[in-house]
Amino acid sequence: MVIYSFNYLEENSCRNSDREPRPWCYTTSPSKRWEYCSKPRCIELNCGTPAIKPKRCLRSMVVSGCVSKPHSWPWQTWVLTSALCLSSSQPSALRVVLGMHSLRATVPSRQVRMLEKIMTGPDGSNIALLKLATPAVINNQVQLACLPKKDYIVPGGTMCYVTGWGRTQGIGGGRVLEETGFPVIDNKICNRDTDIVADHEICPGNTEGGKASCQV
């Protein structure tokens, strides 16, 4: 059996998407479409488990909320983001910065990636997927976020957390990452007076008002 070298297979490219015993790659041989390669197997990574435990602050809003511990929310500014955060629909006009806690500081953990593709939607959602032109390096400051299963409904009373640098009218954005937590309200309760929350949306806050991710 021929073992092909892993030239040009850099960064986090494992080349093993179907649970084969070892990493593999396509070949240039007409008689052999693919073959195992000598690239080492990737380590197993857990999602949603930061190296630094978050504060899980419950104070007011993200704007003027609690300052987060540096790198305790390492998937902030990930390739899954809010469509409202995009200032352009052209990949060449945007870049992704990873591993940052303070927007004004230059730190060794900082990674900058250009974009290859931007995908938004479906209609009625506020989701944007950003395909990086080159893979990010996964470390203690840049990690994987967990995604829910299809059609998963967040139960009422579940504690969720919002993080962000924020942007307030007149004073610009924040310098360091901030956070706040809130309980999820059951959509049936949230829609008792006005039917405005769709099945694919969650209703954040509490029935007495208070915490939110935005300031009006």
Domain range summary for the chain, segments of one domain joined by + = 1-44, 74-132
Q: What percent of the chain shows pLDDT beyond 70?
A: 73
Separation of alpha carbons 132 and 114, rounded Å:
6
pLDDT for res 79: 80
Confidence label for 75 from pLDDT (cuts 50, 70 and 90):
low
pLDDT for res 118: 92
Average pLDDT of every residue of the chain: 76
What does R_g of the chain's alpha carbons equal in angstroms?
Answer: 21
Separation of alpha carbons 83 and 129, rounded Å:
8
pLDDT for res 208: 57
Q: In degrees to the nearest 10, what's the CA dihedral of 49, 50, 55, 61? A: -90
Between 190 and 3, the higher pLDDT residue: 190
Confidence label for 2 from pLDDT (cuts 50, 70 and 90):
very low
pLDDT for res 215: 47
Q: Which pTM value belongs to this model?
A: 0.62
Domain covering 74-132 in this structure, CATH number: 2.40.10.10
Distance, C-alpha 131 to centroid of its chain? 12
CB-based contacts of 53: which residues, under 8 Å, 6+ apart?
A: 69, 72
Q: In degrees to the nearest 10, what's the CA dihedral of 73, 180, 65, 113? A: 30
User: Averaging pLDDT over each range in 26-30, 76-80, 139-143, 173-177, which range is the top one?
Assistant: 139-143
Mean pLDDT lowest for which of 5-19, 61-75, 108-122, 188-202?
5-19
CB-based contacts of 205: which residues, under 8 Å, 6+ apart?
A: 182, 183, 185, 211, 212
User: Averaging pLDDT over each range in 34-48, 50-64, 152-166, which range is the top one?
Assistant: 152-166
pLDDT at 65 over 50: yes
CB-based contacts of 210: which residues, under 8 Å, 6+ apart?
A: 60
* pLDDT tens per residue, range 100-152: 888 888 889 899 999 989 998 777 778 899 988 888 888 888 888 888 888 88
Mean pLDDT lowest for which of 55-64, 92-101, 178-187?
55-64
How far from 150 is each of 147, 153, 154, 200, 209, CA to CA, in Å? 9, 9, 12, 10, 30
